[in-house]
Structure 1
């Protein structure tokens, strides 16, 4: 009976190591959101704030290698932050280029957000 339990113990040990690795990288896989303190914003809110010259800086990041969508995080002049999903980064880039010429808006385009191998 002992010869049958030894291989099972190895698989249990591997399973525990994988669970520990997932628990260690857990906040990166599913980031915690503080919904109570943060108001929900949409893409049109970002465009409205850009038109009203209330935006100090914008950080844009693409979500996937395929497709033209991503997220934008805009810091307003009063210090508050707006995070929105962007349906077309290329269109937002054109709007931001126009606003950067007329207003003092700092633009940062981030690299592609890749999933970790464990989350895949």
Structure 2
């Protein structure tokens, strides 16, 4: 029940911070979509695909962190935070067999 300076509990602040990351990724993706008429098609598609990956990964990261820490906090996710779409046990079974310089293929998580 630790209260942050803004009055939220530590748990709520954690939830809102991760959700904010997802919303920011989506906003950047939408902003990029708006500049399509001004960018050559190949570059637009290349960057657009990276924004899609970034947004998907932001959701994955938010879900994993919130579901994991929820095991300890025993607190509900605030009602106005997007509900997790992943299951913690499935996420825990996922192994990133990569170095820090390679792109992870989390599509494996969606196909099993």
- TM-score scaled to structure 1, two decimals? 0.25
Higher helix share: 2
Larger CA Rg, structure 1 vs 2: 1
Higher strand share: 1
